[in-house]
Structure formats: C-alpha cells, structure tokens
C-alpha cells in the first residue's frame, strides 16, 4: 500500500475589494475628464476601424496606427487587402504582435466581406462575430464606434466586469498571462500564476498551463478575457499595484 500523500492542499487565494466610495470616485473622475471617450485608433471608415481593432489585440493603439498609416494608403478596402494576400499584407503589420495569425485572419475576413456582404462591414453583432478573428468585444467596438449603436453590450459582457478590466489597465495592471504566448512573460504581480494564453468563455477548473498546477490559470481574474460572469477577483498583489498607482501617477483621481 502506498503511503498517504503529504502534499499540501493549496490555500484559497484571498480577495481584496476596492471600496465602493473609491470606485465611484474613479468612475466620476474618468467621466469628468473624458465625457465622450473615443478610440485612439486612426480610421476613416468602418472597414478601416475593423482592421485596426483586429490588429490591436495584444498590441498598443500606437503600434497599430504606425502600421495602418502605411497600409491604408495602399489598401483600405476588403477587395484591396484581399488582393494583397497574406504575403503582401504581412510586411505592413510585421511590427505588431502575432502578425502572422492576424494577417491570415484579416485575409479571411476580407474574403468573407467580399463574398458574403458585398464588401460592406455588417451592422449586426451576429454577422460581425461570424467573421474570422472577430469576437464579441471587437464586434461591440465596431457597433459602438463606427455605427453608434447604443446598448451594444450584451450577455456575457453586460455585468460591468469588462469595464473593470479596462480600469485595471488604467491603474497599471497588465493582462494576467503577460501578453506572450509561450509562458515567458509576466504581469509584474507576484501572487498571480503565469499562464500561456488568455482564456475565453467559461473555462473548466482547473486549466493548467506553464506548470502552474494544481490550481492552474487564474481565469476568474478581471485581467483575463473570460466572460463577465466568470470574473470576480483581483489578487492582493494587483490591488496593491493599483493603490500604488492611485497614490502616485493617478493621484488626481481621488484627491
């Protein structure tokens, strides 16, 4: 008979929550500073915005703008980018992360737009999400920004937690997987496990990657990409990092 395991059971990770007063102060300060927020991506049509948003995944708006300033004068319609092909498109976006997969997605998206939508960006979430490389968040950006569709946030992104994710970025938090697809990155927080890639939807627990067992990826964290009703926590380390930002570069939000 084998000896009983002496392996320690993992302790539940404690949660720290920001006070309601401070949350309200942050949102009120953001609303006062920018009552009509708009994307920093540069575009002149719904199609250009679609291209820019697809390229912006795990990349900065600045890096996308630098690439599209060269791409759009050459090709800014589905037909023109489709004519470039993957090989012709890649040199324009090589400076953006994950450019190989993004080039393939964009070519397939352009093909779908030409063959199924007459070269026009569709105005419904369902049709947008059917395009290669376009998820619900990308579709919502297009609907809100290009078409001014009100109330585009729907389940599973209707609980305010996607907004919490963006506030996390504003307060100096990075994506929990470190923005690298090979376990080499990190989010500069000691109590979050390393993860290989973002998580989507409602993953089954545990999802182990990057040797982070037994609990695996912290996909319930606000800084992952799971559905709103799957997110519920920041770690103490993330909270401390946000408080440091609020006591420093973002002090004006609560002073």
Selected residue with higher pLDDT from 216 and 150: 216
Residue 221 three-state SS: strand
Q: CA-to-CA distance for 118 and 71, rounded, in angstroms?
A: 22
Q: CA-to-CA distance for 176 and 197, rounded, in angstroms?
A: 9
Instruction: Calculate mean pLDDT across residues 1-21.
Output: 56
Instruction: Calculate mean pLDDT across residues 160-187.
Output: 83
Contact call for residues 86 and 107 (beta carbons, < 8 A): yes
**Residue 200: its pLDDT value, please?**
83
**Residue 114: its pLDDT value, please?**
94
**Residue 150: its pLDDT value, please?**
47
- pLDDT band for 154, please (50, 70, 90 cuts): low
Tell me, what DSSP letter sits at residue 228? G
Q: Is the pLDDT of residue 2 over 60?
A: no
Instruction: Calculate mean pLDDT across residues 27-36.
Output: 78
Task: Estimate to the nearest angstrom the gap between the alpha carbon of 92 and the chain centroid.
Answer: 22
Distances (CA, A) of 158 to 111, 147, 236: 31, 19, 25
Instruction: Calculate mean pLDDT across residues 244-248.
Output: 88
Give 155-173 pLDDT, tens digit per residue.
666 666 777 888 888 888 9
At 233, phi and psi to the nearest 5?
-150, 150
Residue 233 three-state SS: strand
DSSP-derived secondary structure for 131-189: STT--HHHHHHIIIIIT--TT---TTS-SSHHHHHHHHHHTTPPPTTTT-TTS----S-
């Amino acid at each position: 008979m084998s000896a009983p395991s002496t392996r320690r059971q993992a302790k539940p990770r404690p949660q720290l929550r920001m006070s309601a007063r401070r949350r309200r102060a942050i949102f009120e300060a953001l609303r006062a500073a920018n009552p009509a927020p708009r994307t920093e991506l540069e575009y002149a049509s719904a199609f250009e915005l679609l291209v820019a948003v697809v390229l912006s995944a795990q990349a900065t708006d600045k890096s996308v703008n630098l690439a599209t300033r060269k791409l759009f004068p050459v090709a800014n319609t589905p037909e023109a980018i489709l004519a470039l092909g993957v090989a012709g498109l890649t040199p324009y976006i090589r400076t953006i992360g994950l450019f190989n997969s993004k080039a393939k997605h964009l070519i397939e998206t352009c093909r779908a737009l030409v063959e199924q939508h007459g070269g026009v960006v569709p105005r419904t979430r369902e049709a947008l999400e059917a395009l290669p490389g376009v998820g619900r968040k990308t579709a919502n950006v297009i609907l809100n920004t290009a078409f001014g569709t009100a109330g585009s946030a729907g389940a599973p992104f209707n609980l305010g937690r996607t907004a919490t994710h963006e506030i996390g970025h504003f307060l100096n938090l990075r994506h929990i997987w470190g923005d690298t697809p090979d376990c080499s990155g990190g989010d500069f927080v000691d109590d979050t496990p390393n993860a290989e890639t973002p998580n989507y939807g409602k993953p089954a627990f545990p999802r182990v990657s990057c040797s982070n067992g037994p609990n695996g990826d912290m996909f319930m964290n606000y800084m992952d990409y799971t559905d709103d009703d799957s997110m519920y926590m920041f770690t103490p380390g993330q909270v401390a990092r946000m408080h440091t930002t609020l006591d420093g570069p973002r002090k004006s939000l609560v002073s």
